Amino acid sequence: MNSGLRWVSATAVGRLLRCPVSVTPRARPDIPAAHAPDNAGSLAHLALGVWLESGGWNDEDPGAALQAAWDAEAERWGIHWRRLREGVVVRARLRSRGAELAHLVTSAGRRAQSEVFLTDDTTGIYGALDVIVDDGDGGGAVIDLKSGRDVVGTLDEAVRIQLLMYAHLFRAKYGKLPTTVAAFSLIRGAVPIEFSVEEVDELIERVHEVRAMKDAVASPDEVGCRYCSRRLRCDPHWVAAKEWPKPDCVEGRLTKIERAAAGMIALRVETPTTTEWVTNLDAHQATNLPAIGEHLRVVRISQRRHTEWVASTVTRVGPKASSTD
């Protein structure tokens, strides 16, 4: 492996192309560490791995086998899956979609593997692929499980780029692009994509060009910024967000902290034009609060009313920090 490379994950390439400063390359590929699943999607991916490795996809009722793998993984990790958000729904979808997923796998080749970690020393791209199917002739399939709503409608451009990067990693390993590249949505089913060698090569060339840029600047937009880890400290984002029709963030002076008996926290934020409330924060999310009277930033929140915002598990809070920090 080339130790001088700076590495970027396949899932981050879409963000990199959208905004060059949104992704910080790594000194080495980041191999995912095993940990207890904390959401229904993570548990579904663990169940998928067990289902594939145990041969459950070849069972007479592959959906029942996939659901059984979910139950077994939940028990192994001590997870009460009924308490997970959408846990009941995702478990039911595994059962109903199992046969379709099994057909997609068996039609692509003879040998299926899960959570395959691949790297490419030429481009510095790496990724953990949910499903690789090898047909014994350099073809096969790359399948990415989607348990949420990211492929309910038109396939998101970032998801498409992610899948094409997985196809490139498959080529780096087997010497040939896979015959089939697909997202598998537990809501929608199989969503295969049309692609060509030229498209993948052009995408790789774009990655090279962006990574070679000097003095790259932020290119904020409502979609690309949503899950960017730099949002709290990216000043261009906060300038752009003021013009977004449906922002999911607020910044201003922290003037009050209220704590409910159940442990939830609400913040009062004074902006240049009004007083905003951010509610439903938990104690962990409130560990990085500035002092009363200082500047506060909050991202990934939903607007309930004109001056009230509601936090969720993905909400992040912090003081104002320079984008050069």
Q: Give 237-276 pLDDT, tens digit per residue.
A: 999 999 999 999 999 999 999 998 778 999 999 999 999 9
Distance (Å, whole) CA 32 – CA 49? 14
Cα–Cα–Cα angle for 205, 207, 213, nearest 5°?
Answer: 105
For 217, the token pair is 């600047």
> Which pLDDT tens digit goes with each residue over 174-213?
999 999 999 999 999 999 999 999 999 999 999 999 988 8
Four-point Cα dihedral 38, 316, 314, 181, nearest 10: -100
Whether this prediction's pTM lies above 0.75 is answered by yes
Chain centroid offset of residue 281 CA: 22
Q: What is the pLDDT of residue 321?
A: 66
Of the candidates 273, 276, 235, the residue with the CA atom closest to the CA atom of residue 254: 276
Residue 323: is its pLDDT beyond 50? no
Task: Name the DSSP letter for residue 23.
Answer: -
Instruction: Answer whether 143's CB lies under 8 Å from 184's CB.
Output: yes
Chain centroid offset of residue 53 CA: 24
Cα–Cα–Cα angle for 229, 20, 195, nearest 5°?
Answer: 100
For 83, the token pair is 């308490």
Of the candidates 4, 3, 5, 7, the residue with the CA atom closest to the CA atom of residue 30: 7
Q: How confident is the model at residue 121 (pLDDT cuts 50, 70, 90)?
A: very high
Distance (Å, whole) CA 303 – CA 316? 15
